[in-house]
Chain A
Amino acid sequence: MAIAIIRMTDLFAVVMLTGIYGLLSASFFVAMDAVDVAFTEASVGAGISTLLMLVVISMTGRSEKKTRHKPLPALIVVAITGGLLIYGTLDMPYFGSTDAPIHSHVAPKYVNDSMEEIGIPNIVTSVLASYRAFDTFGEVIVIFTAGIGVLALLSVTRRPEDDEEISSNNDSMHEQHLVIRIVAKILIPFILLFALYVQFHGDFGPGGGFQAGVIFAAAIILYTMLFGLSTARKVINQTFIQLIAATGVLIYASVGVASLLSGGNFLDYNVLTSDPVAGQHLGILIIEWGVGCTVASVMIMIFFNFANRREMQRTNKSMHDTNQESQ
C-alpha cells in the first residue's frame, strides 16, 4: 500500500489510498485491542483527513510533476536509518509479551485501582479524563490553536451579494446527485444521534469527547458537501461555531478552576461533590463535553474555511475570465 502511494503521481488516487490506509490501520487497532483508538482512527483517517485533502487538491491541481533529481541518495539515507532502527528493535520485548517493561509501572495501577477511584468501566476514559486530565487539556488547546491558525491563514470576509451568485451555481450543480442527497438526508440525523451516544456512553464503552466530536463534524461536513456551502452557512453560523470552540476550552478549564476553589488540585474532581466517586463522574462528564464541543467545532471550522477559500478562488477566476472575454 505504502509503495503504491510512493509510486503514484495522480494525487487523487493517492488521497483515496490514504483513506483506505486509514481504515486499514483502524482495523489493525481493533485487532490489537485498542477499540477507542480504532474508533478515532476510522472517523479521522478514513473520513475527515481524506475530505480535507480532496478539498485542497481541488484547489491546487491534481497531478504531480516528475522530479528531476535522482531518488538514490534519499533511498540510501532511508535504508541506513531503517537499518539502524531494525538494529534497535532487536532489544525490544516480543510482541504481546506480558513482562515487557511498559506493563510494569503505572499500567497495573490504572487497571487495578481505577474502578474504586473513578468508578467507570472504561479504563481508557478514566485515564484520559481523570488521571491524565492535564495532558488532555493541553491537547485540546493544541487543537484549538490549530483551528485558530487555519482561520488566520484562510479566512475570507464575504459580502452577502456574493452568496446569491454562488447559491445559484450550486443549485444547478447539486441537482445531479438526487439519490445521494435523499439517502444522506435520512442518514444525517442518525449520525448526529450516534455522535451524542458516543459522547455520553464513553464512560462504559469505547467512546468519548474526541470521537464524538469528530463524528459530529463528519455529519455536518457531509451535509455541506451535498447541499452546498451557502445552505450550510444558513444552518450553522460561522461566528457561533467559533464561539463554541472557545467555550469548549473554557468549560474544561473552569472545571479545573472549580476544583481549585473547592480545595483540591487543578482538575482533581474528588472535591467537586461530597462523594469522591460521584465527583469523578461529574468531572469526567463535563470535561468530555468540553472536549467534544471543541473538537467538533474546530473540525467544522477548518472545513468551512477550506471550502470558503475554494469558492472565493473560483469566483475570482470566473470574474477574471469574463473580464478577459469582454476585452
Chain B
Amino acid sequence: MIVGLFNDWVVVFLMMSGLYIVIAHGNLIKKIVGLTIFQTSVFIFYISMAKVDGGTAPILADDITLYSNPLPHVLILTAIVVGIATTALALSLVVRIKETYGSIEEEDIQHQDNQTLEMNKERKQS
C-alpha cells in the first residue's frame, strides 16, 4: 500500500476540475462537459468504494469466495444511463437557447436580457 486514500484524491481532483469548468467558463456546452466530468468523478468514487482487495467481479462461481460489493455497481449502472438522458435534456435546452438568442455564451445572453429589461422599463415610463 503506497497511499491508501489515493483513489479519493483522484476523485476530488476530477470533481474540482469539473466544478472549475462550470464556474469559470461561459460557454454552455463547456459547462455541460464540466458537469459530465463532475458526474463521472462521483461514479469512480462509488465504484472505488466497492472494490475489495483480492475480490473479483460479483458474478457467482463455484471456487470463489470473495466478491466486490455489488450494491454500488447497481446504483452507478443505472446512474450512468440516467445521466446521459438528463445530459441530452440539457443539450436540447442549449439548442433552444442558441435558436432564441443566437449565442451560447453566458455573457452575450446576459447582455441581451439586460437590454430587453431596459427597453421594457422605458416603455413603462413613457
Q: Which residues of A contact B (CB under 8 A)?
A: 2-3, 5-6, 11, 14-15, 18, 21-22, 25, 28-29, 32-37, 40-41, 44-45, 48-49, 52-53, 56-57, 59-61, 64-65, 67-68, 71, 74-75, 77-79, 81-82, 85-86, 89-90, 92, 94-98, 100, 102-103, 106-107, 110-111, 114-115, 121-124, 127-128, 132, 135-136, 139, 142-143, 146-147, 149-150, 153-154, 204-206, 208, 210, 213-214, 295, 298-299, 302, 305-306, 309, 313
Contacts and interface: CB of A to CB of B under 8 A. Distances in A.
Given A33-B50, A214-B84, 18 more contacts: A2-B14, A2-B18, A5-B17, A14-B33, A34-B76, A44-B83, A49-B84, A53-B29, A59-B95, A64-B26, A74-B23, A78-B16, A82-B13, A102-B71, A124-B74, A142-B82, A146-B85, A154-B96
Given A92-B5, A153-B92, A2 B57 contact: no
A307 to B, nearest CB: 11
Interface string B1-41: 10011111100111111111101111101101100110010
A142 B107 contact: no
A36 B77 contact: yes
Nearest to A32: B51
Given A33-B56, A40-B81, A53 B17 contact: no
Interface of B: 1, 4-9, 12-21, 23-27, 29-30, 32-33, 36-37, 40, 43-44, 47-61, 66-74, 76-89, 91-96, 98-99, 104-105, 107
24 contacts: A18-B37, A25-B43, A37-B77, A49-B36, A60-B98, A65-B27, A67-B26, A77-B19, A82-B13, A86-B12, A95-B6, A96-B53, A98-B54, A100-B49, A124-B77, A143-B82, A153-B92, A153-B95, A153-B96, A154-B92, A208-B77, A302-B88, A306-B91, A306-B95
